[in-house]
Amino acid sequence: MNFDRFMVSSGFTRLQALYCCYFKWFENFDIILLLYVNNMLVAGSGIEEIVNLKAKLAEEFSMKNLGPVTKILEMRISREKIDC
């Protein structure tokens, strides 16, 4: 199965303006996946669904989880926990 077909069958929508960006809205949170050559960034507000997505991706494709991102495409990433 190719990556696009996998993502669409998992309920994600690919942005028409940016083919490397997939998103999925849930009732109270969302997930965004960005794909660039052989790098992938998954972000969202639903950690359980992110963990599930990563597990499904690992079953379907050969990949490594490099842990929390600190840099991608020469951009440094920082995180803040926001209490709502």
pLDDT of residue 63: 87
Element (H, E) at 57: helix 47-60
Sequence spans of domains, the chain: 3-76
SS3 (DSSP) at 34: strand
What rounded mean pLDDT belongs to the chain? 87
Does this model's pTM top 0.85? My answer is: no
51-69 pLDDT per residue, tens: 999 999 999 999 888 888 8
Nearest residue to 32 (alpha-carbon basis) of 69, 2, 1, 62: 69
**What single-letter DSSP state applies at residue 19?**
T
